[in-house]
Structure 1
Amino acid sequence: MKALAMLAALLPATAAAQDVAPPVRTMIATKGECTGLVVNSAPAACGDVALNMVYRDGQTSIMIKTGDGNLVSFYGTLDGKGGIAVTKVTMSRSGETPSVRSTPATGYCTAETLRKPRTHIECTADAPDGRRFAASFTGTEDEVTVSDMDR
């Protein structure tokens, strides 16, 4: 039940993120430890939740909860080597006035899914204007929550 509450708390931000992403096929959520987050080249506080969205068009994203409850998403394509080739970074803010800002970026996430418990993932991406985005997250739960949206 904790996992369902965790998903419910993040739904406003994930719904806002879908404004710039195709429909979701699968959503995977896990609690864990975020040991580093960089947004717009500045260190940022990070939360204890990560989401992995698999979109119907084959794209995927890793979303990290920020310290203030918003999301930073590293979005891209599976590279065939177990990682994600990042093509953009999206920042989603929930609350009374949800917003989404998407920035073209190139980079890499070291894991393609959070489906396995206790997965460690590192994401880095750089925008054309030099801004850097990065996240380091390790799942701490023995189970992850998987929601199949096609059902």
Structure 2
Amino acid sequence: FNIAATPLFADLSAFLANYGLAGVFLVTIVAGTIVPLGSPALVVAASPFTDPILLMIVAATGFTIGMTINYGLAYRFGRPYIEKRISAEHFEELKRIWTKWGWIIYVIFGLIPVLPVELLAFLCGFLKTHLTTFLLLSFVPRLITFAILAYFGQHLGIWLGVT
């Protein structure tokens, strides 16, 4: 049995041959919004076929751009929406908790691939988190996560004979 000959790897290999890192970049932008495309799985699967360092940088940048779209939408349009649905007291309590613990929660969500960090980008926008802080807290944890996943994917590819 040759796993490298399975349709999954053949399709991924064809995707990377046709679209390269630009395709990964576009997929991760969309995955950084609320569309569940599985960018961590894409990084693992793509890493045997491309430079893992470029892959992790491209994926983290794309994902951060996608989350910044969420942030921007919530920053511009979110506060009136939220203020209609929760009381001023609850909103102030949310701001207080987020000011104290938000960056820790955001980093933890950013480091664990299965947690929906892209949804927290909306919260950052609602609460008008400073853009530089948001970008740093979005990019660095995802870069670390994608680095680990690319490293894992490289070794998994070698073990499976895909490379």
The two structures have a TM-score, normalised by structure 2, of 0.30
**Higher relative contact order structure (alpha carbons within 8 Å, sequence separation ≥ 6):** 2
Decide which structure has greater helix share. Answer: 2
Larger Rg: 2
